[in-house]
Amino acid sequence: MSSLTDLGAAAMLAALRTGEVSSHELTRACLERIQDLDSSYRAFLTLTPELAMKTAAAADRRWMDWRKDPQTPPPPLLGIPLAVKDLLCLKDVRLTCGSRILDQFIAPFTATCVQRLLDAGMVPLGKTNTDEFAMGSSTENSAYQVTRNPWNLERVPGGSSGGSAAAVAAYLTPAAIGTDTGGSVRQPAAFCGVTGLKPTYGRVSRYGLVAFGSSLDSVGVLARSVEDVSLIFAQMAGVDPLDATSQDVPVPDCSMDGVKSLAGLRVGVPHEYFIAGISPDVEKAVRSAISVLEGLGAQIVEISLPHTSYALPVYYLIAPAEASANLARYDGVRYGLREGGRIPGDTLLAMFEKTRGLGFGAEVKRRIMLGTYALSAGYYDAYYGQAQKVRTLIKTDFDRAFEQVDVIAAPVAPSTAFKFGQHSDDPLAMYLEDVFTLPANLAGVPALAFPAGFDRQGLPVGLQLMGPHFREDLLLRTAHAYQLVTDWHRCLPPTPNLAKVN
């Protein structure tokens, strides 16, 4: 073992089980690596070293108890360090959502999915950077810092879960939690060369996830292998009485035992995902990944998802509309920042205006304005109402496709990681980065991104698999079969700082 931080979650568990390492050692190794390297990546917004070391010590005591008395199995993630996107509540820890408006806010409770991971034995290392309120595709919209892509420090890590993706790619943590409203787990996973799952809408509780687009938001996982993603996903999933949209559908067995061949699996390839504008390198890597699936026995079927081109305008009406309602709560009264309202003559309205004017960044303001417009009397039917109808057509596309095929394979994003500032002045160009990820959110289906090669500049390319509602197991098992015969997910970022690790 060259370095403890090289280990993925499953390998860490195996080493903890044999007693080869302690959670104390694993956690310390991650924290030291963060200390040494995160000034280059800037993936973390808040670190929780005391909480981490305390939790690790408790995990080690439990492992010792288990060794003395192996009757009761230890919790499934006992002693594994993890990072959490700073859009999810962890009690008594700062929660910023990448926004100034929540700068000093301390979470008063823990999100259900995070609590489930804690109950399963997770050791929380800290909170990772995000675009403000998860609005963005590059993490450049964070009010605090710019996170760098470990594959090339001049490039964005993708977004909005860019902090989580960079932390996993740079071996600062074996895995991290992200959120995905329109692609925010999958696109940064693809840009940073890691594996990321967006579960079915309703599969993982949203209680304690700060709302962006409530009908689209889902909590997912990023790690360096499908096996690790699956291990963690299994602990987060399941119905929660605190989230009325969470679904009581049994979580299928996501173990990877016996996965090898894909014989009998029908993989649909939608021609609408290979449009003009997609980078030729991305298309080449994606097509060759699809032929690897074919080589494993899958049957490749050309399919059509005819309403794909509407996903972008539909999403950019529905998501801002929901965001404008969800963000109305940041008024300077109940949460975080308050500006004005203290001097005589300062009205309540002035306080709202000053607080929101100073607290929100440009992209959040743009979304609030777009969303408020789309919902306003007179325009509601023409924009929001119409978008909802087209959303149904997009969902129907998927329903029809899944009568024909088991999973759908497609690119994650039209390009690989772009340079800082490349899309900063052009919101539309930034929104276009999401064309291939938005449909799964609009339809509510699960989707998985995983490494499928590199472009000519040495930047990772991802393959996306989408599946029927609640069939994350199909996606995970298919991708695992792929990872058994390919090495893309094992490649390390070649940054000078990481040269020592092999």
Footprint of ligand GLN (CB under 6 A): 134-137, 160, 180-184, 212, 319, 434
Q: How far is CA 59 from CA 24, 29, 52, 464, in A?
A: 8, 16, 10, 35
Q: Which of 22, 138, 142, 184 is catalytic?
A: 184
**Residues contacting residue 317 through CB under 8 Å, at least 6 positions apart:** 370, 374, 383, 384, 387
**Residues contacting residue 487 through CB under 8 Å, at least 6 positions apart:** none
Range 49-81 burial, b when 16+ CB lie within 10 A, else e:
eebbbebbbebbebbeebeeeeeeebbbbbbbb
Q: Are 195 and 231 in contact (CB under 8 A)?
A: no
DSSP code at position 45? E
**Nearest CB to ligand GLN, comparing residues 23 and 181:** 181
Q: Which of 22, 85, 198, 230 is catalytic?
A: 85
Would you call 184 a catalytic residue per the annotation?
A: yes
**Nearest CB to ligand GLN, comparing residues 141 and 235:** 141
CA angle 383, 386, 389 (to 5 degrees): 150
**Nearest CB to ligand GLN, comparing residues 81 and 182:** 182
**Nearest CB to ligand GLN, comparing residues 264 and 277:** 277
For the CB of residue 155, give the shortest distance to ligand GLN in the complex, in Å.
16
Pairwise CA distance, residues 142 & 365, whole Å? 14
For the CB of residue 363, give the shortest distance to ligand GLN in the complex, in Å.
8
Would you call 160 a catalytic residue per the annotation?
A: yes
Would you call 39 a catalytic residue per the annotation?
A: no
Residue 286 CB neighbours (<10 A): 24
For the CB of residue 418, give the shortest distance to ligand GLN in the complex, in Å.
13
**Nearest CB to ligand GLN, comparing residues 48 and 218:** 218
Q: How far is CA 78 from CA 115, 201, 324, in A?
A: 13, 27, 40
Question: What tokens appear for 150 in the block?
Answer: 């470990």
The reply to whether omega before 22 is within 30° of 0 (cis) is no
Q: Which of 99, 137, 160, 218 is catalytic?
A: 160
Active-site residue list: 85, 160, 184
